[in-house]
Structure 1
Amino acid sequence: MNETLQKAGFVAVVGRPNAGKSTLLNHLVGEKLAMVSKKAQATRKRMNVIVMHDNAQIIFVDTPGLHEKEKLLNQFMMEEALKAIGDADLILFLAPVTDSTEEYEKFLKLVEKKNTPHLLVLTKVDRVSNERVLRKIAEYQKFQDRFEALIPYSTKRGGASREQLLDAIAKRLPEHPWLYDPEILTTENVRDIYRELIRESIFENLSDEIPYESDVLIERVEEGEDLDRVVATIITEKETQKRMIIGRNAETVKRIGRDARKLMEGFAGKKIFLDLHVVVRKGWSRNKKALEAVGYLF
């Protein structure tokens, strides 16, 4: 293929917490790469997910949800989203169909000094009637001079198809030789993906503030042809949280490990031996050096 005909570009996927960003990206790439949780603010760092579509290499950037909080970790998450917006060739703003236009209006103020084009994607349209989708589309028409296109979308049924969404994105990317090997699905390494899958298991198995005050360190990965051995540590803020993560007779941490292992095996396509530990690091999420030690580089 003539390189001048190739397209490549970065597409920042943004929206409020729990707008469906990671779910959409896993659907588009056809693999379980990005962390998904029903709880808000689960995604903490940018993650590149690569989708090849015709002559275009689309590098999606999964981002933390747009939100405002004073906590240092939340500030880092917001900075990650803003960096992705600043570096993007195109932005996808995801707006759940049940939301008011308020979050979109906040986004417009955030990017009003930037010239980066964006697509407005109405998510979760399978959860409401067609009439309600049409009413929501009508609500957004007053902003039609701001977005390139408005696309109703669902990863389950209804709305635009995967091909239609990828077509709309690809035609707006610059002509450029592909930036990565077309065979790879993400620029993340195996350790980072394993970490996110363990975090997903924590979010799904624990309630209240514990998942938000916890994180995961991958201590060691020994990759084999049929088996990966992974040693990981869950860090948390308080002794009481550690006891809850471990649970009575270590039942909770065993469940976290079992569910994480299933996710990891689904990604790796081979068996996983997971050795999981729990430690307390008081105030880790409010201390810059502690955050950097976990991998959140400011």
Structure 2
Amino acid sequence: MLLDYLDDHLLREIATYLSDHDLNALVQTCRRTSGRLNNDLYYRNIPSGERPYVLEWAVDKNYIGTARLAVMMGASVAYTQERYNPVLVHAAIMGNLDMVSIVLAAFDVNVNITGMYGRTALANACILNDVPLVKLLMQHGGPGLDVELPDGCGMTPLMHAAQCRSIPLFQLLLATGRASVHSRCIAGYTPLLHAITAACARYNAAECVELLLQAGADPCARDARDRTILRHAVVCGRIEVVKKLLDTGKVDPDAEEGEDGELDTAREMAKQHRTDAMERLLDNYKPVPLRISVELFY
């Protein structure tokens, strides 16, 4: 093809007079022409401040090279609209570390950008229990990474970590010193409550509860319906968690439950569920008054 013999500068000059459709057609004529005009095509498809279609496509299809070139050509990763996941959030959901690294290198990247359901890349990484991705976001975001930004349901990254029982995630988030153990979601649940009531709390529940208690979580906190954490633990049948809550010396198995005290207490719930071990544990529990405790250790 005669175009192959044209100087690169002359070929690019010709490209400036072509429409997007014609330039696309020209690029597809042969591989050599495609390589020489590829950058011009990217410039055409990456208008500043507009939706980065090329980058979105590359992230979705896991085309690392295309994504890298799109970012180099100035693709914006700050584009956002309702019911849309920005490319950083989408890359995080895909769980692709290389792709996330490329997006984080963009000129207008915002590590706290939110997508659907108000979730950040960090929140989605915690939902997926993706420890390497959380580490990458923390390394890039540094102090600017908001580890307390709640999603549309009021869920913080620590709450999402609590729901998947991930000890490494707990340690990473708590080590920042910025993740609050007292935050509440719309249902009034703290991270401690989420750690106890999550559907997958059959493993690591006691370890997660221990970490949260060491970080200052309140074992006496109640949810939006004024139910105690101890009652939730009894209902879920987590005897090892109940023991850790009782060991704090702050909880009361006979505390009123519900806004008007209309709900059964933790002790009554243990009897209803006929868990003998739980009943014995609660029966043997004797909270030590603060005054007596001080005198004993004076």
TM-score by length of 1: 0.24
Greater relative contact order (Cα 8 A, min sep 6): structure 1 or 2?
1
Between structure 1 and structure 2, the one with the greater Rg is 2
Larger % of helix: which? 2
Larger % of strand: which? 1
TM-score by length of 2: 0.24
